[in-house]
Structure 1
């Protein structure tokens, strides 16, 4: 009788497991990159399209101040965009304020100093090194982990990996806990993997991919994400990543939020659940 009861119990449990949805594993790497402002509105509002999504663990907005109220219970990573006064003035206090309001463990250095336009900060290597030492490096003594400047995937002499190699040589006495890559191209999965592998092998540090995306008209962002997200999650040296970006998909930009700003695109749905 006991044996028969046990068999019934096991059968019932197995049936329950088969009928119950299996929660996807979250690697803790996936983040939201959202604009501080978008068409005059606080960009943080669009993070709420990911409310309740366990796949999302962190966020950033290319600054150290968030307008509005973003998604809750998600780690925030401040960024110093450039060495211009509007960025550096109040930087230390802004980081302190962010730490009092959000969970802050990491800080990001300059955004695309190797690029003019397109959000790039356009900084000569020696200027970036000096500003990093002045404004970013002191935060290491406060227990924060420090990222390198984020560079493009350009291949010219003073872009991408080549730029960051020069920066790392000039900042050899800095605490750089991880290196930061951006990637924009066509939807070629192997090219994406090859570039990031080269990036890691060049610097031999954990890699954050704080911007990546498909150029408009050069592939299916949803299909691309379905292929690369498992690789990003499973690759040990990829520490964190964020798709560009959490904002309304205007003019075919392949963003994660729909053009009305009230839901997710197909790519956004994949990013939220895959």
Structure 2
């Protein structure tokens, strides 16, 4: 048995959701979780919420990308000068000198078969990478030292059967699981909220008390809006009728405006997590114009990452995050500044910062 995590059952529509399953139009204000005030980004001119505090926004790039001033959270982004992050190398000649070890931070790796051979470069002493996932129910190449987070990618019978078969092989390296992947999008799982609620109850609820259970992974549409996702998830909550076990809310956020991105994450938490203290996992994030699918150039990507990582590390209700991506050949990220690895599979400048924090 895996270590049991505290498990919360959905208690019905969260605050801000009507009994008919529609989101109220009134602007979000703030919610209090314990003694912590969470302020929404309904008024971007006020700044960006960071764990209850408001941080002023500064635009520093002529290209128009809006980022936050650099903030280094205490104890989360530092790297010992005696243990420098690996530097550039070649595939098959990785720079890791010590056995791989998991870090203790919130950072995770989206790791697939084309992610290169140098996973150990992310996992040297001083790293903050604690978990990994691969859009699958099977660990495959996700490094064994990391907490692996499987996902039920779709709702068809074959995918559900494969998920259950994989579950028998998880062992002690799994403590959390995630439900359906982007079911609200036609090009992904494409499942109605009502059917998704039934699948979640059938497949995920039975793991209560053994694994921490995530809800369906939600994301923006190609315009960068979260309105479709909000409507779908509202309907999902209503269809669950207090019967879906959900311990965390996984979301994917992309953008070029850090103010908007953090505002969307905060709005999602205020709508679906704040009333019962359900934390957010940002399972995908990077600097990208969704209307063109074009990733940002290196300077803008690093600025966006710096701001988003600093905010996520200092925000109590963000429990985990994973940058997209650590691929060598998949998609177009090898040609833009978002990739954590180089074309040889070793760490890029952004990858070193992601895994080890800013250089000292």
Q: Residue 27 of structure 1: CA displacement? A: 6.0
Q: Which residue of 2 aligns with 1:181?
A: 251
Equivalent residue runs for 1:28-39 within 5 Å: 28-35=105-112, 37-38=113-114
For 2:158, what is the secondary structure of its paired residue?
helix
Q: 1:32, 1:59 within 8 Å by CA — same for their partners in 2? A: yes
CA offsets per residue over residues 48-94 of structure 1, 9 Å max, x none? 331215210011111111324x3242111111101123321132231
CA RMSD of aligned residues (A): 2.3
Question: TM-score normalized by structure 1?
Answer: 0.79
The structure with the larger Rg is 1
CA, structure 1 residues 253+226, in 2 after alignment: closer, same or farther (shift >3 Å)? closer
For 1:228, what is the secondary structure of its paired residue?
helix
Q: How many residues align?
A: 240
For 2:169, what is the secondary structure of its paired residue?
helix
Q: Which residue of 1 aligns with 2:347?
A: 264
Is residue 213 from structure 1 mapped to residue 286 from structure 2 by the alignment? yes
CA, structure 1 residues 130+107, in 2 after alignment: closer, same or farther (shift >3 Å)? same
Which deviates further from its counterpart, 243-252 or 73-82? 243-252
Q: Which residue of 1 aligns with 2:196?
A: 128
For 2:168, what is the secondary structure of its paired residue?
helix
Distance 1:44 1:75 in 2: 19
CA, structure 1 residues 217+72, in 2 after alignment: closer, same or farther (shift >3 Å)? closer
What residue ranges of structure 2 are gaps of 5+ in the alignment? 1-79, 85-102, 289-293
Question: TM-score normalized by structure 2?
Answer: 0.61
For 1:62, what is the secondary structure of its paired residue?
coil
Distance 1:163 1:179 in 2: 14
Is residue 89 from structure 1 mapped to residue 153 from structure 2 by the alignment? no
What residue ranges of structure 1 are gaps of 5+ in the alignment? 1-19
Q: 1:183, 1:212 within 8 Å by CA — same for their partners in 2? A: yes
For 1:250, what is the secondary structure of its paired residue?
helix
Q: 2:204, 2:245 within 8 Å by CA — same for their partners in 1? A: no
Q: Residue 178 of structure 1: CA displacement? A: 1.0
For 1:89, what is the secondary structure of its paired residue?
helix
Q: Which residue of 2 aligns with 1:246?
A: 326
Q: Which residue of 2 aligns with 1:6?
A: none
CA, structure 1 residues 217+59, in 2 after alignment: closer, same or farther (shift >3 Å)? closer
Equivalent residue runs for 1:17-32 within 5 Å: 21=81, 28-32=105-109
Aligned to 1:223, which of 260, 281, 303? 303
